[in-house]
Amino acid sequence: MQGLPEFISTSAKIAYLNTLLRVGFDTLDFGSFVSAKAIPQLRDTEAVLAGLDVSNTRTKLLAIVANLRGSETAAAHPQIHYIGFPLSVSETFQRRNTNKTIAEALAELAEMQNVCEKASKTLVTYLSMGFGNPYGDPWSPEVVAEFTQKLADMGVRIVALSDTIGASTPATITPLFSELIPAFPQIEFGAHLHTAPVYWREKVDAAYQAGCRRFDGAIGGVGGCPMATDKLTGNMPTEKLVAYFDETGVDLGLNRDAFRIAQTAAGEVFGFGKK
């Protein structure tokens, strides 16, 4: 929702997110405690949280933050399980995304980890530009491993390798997960992949075959990074992920009736099929 220019009402957000909570996903990224000036679409995150029904769901709530203050705000809410922070492998993108250098972001991330530990929350670190960047900043599997080591030393236990602009291919996905997963057995690695419609399967398959078991998605592939120049490069479609794991024989334990309802609701919120 964050990149949409037209404000989605708080009631519409609550209604849609509650349909997702009934499906049985592991985690729901429901909102962000960030500057209302920077991302006005999410200025009502606290009100949205108050309207979510978490009384009968296995789904854990995740909130994205951009700084220490945001993590402290999120940590004060008992309904929230995960607090996510985008740490970029690219110096240029880190400055653009959070107005910090990588060194400053790492220092603040260490403080966020302390906040999470004290509040019994789990910090999720997204390594954005994890599969390369368009700025010419240094990138290699070794660079990503160095970042991961710093996170491991802080006690971070979930790291999501994030595509950001849809640049990943099996040639970059496979070696990253194949090398990182055995090297850091204490860390749960996730795949936050952006993709054009024709490439989704090869990306998911490469990550899954390399050992990844945590995947982010958005129904309809809605969203994506404003940095992406290709309008078809959006988030990984949740329905494609579900189809892939059905074909692979993985039982996701989802309520399929609830999922169909959520897909219909997504179409109404995001205008799928409208001309």
Catalytic residues, which ones?
Answer: 225
Q: What is the CA radius of gyration of the chain?
A: 18
**Tokens 């990306």 found at:** 203
Max CA-CA distance within the chain? Answer: 50
The one-letter amino acid code at 90 reads: S
Instruction: Please give the Cα distance from 57 to 22 (Å, whole number).
Output: 6
Instruction: Please give the Cα distance from 110 to 233 (Å, whole number).
Output: 32
Give the residue from 69, 70, 64 showing the smallest Cα distance to 84: 64
Asked if residue 232 lies in contact with residue 198, where contact means CB atoms within 8 angstroms, the answer is: no
Q: Which residues of 161-180 are buried (b: 16+ CB within 10 A; e: fewer)?
A: bbbbbbbbeeebbbebbbbb
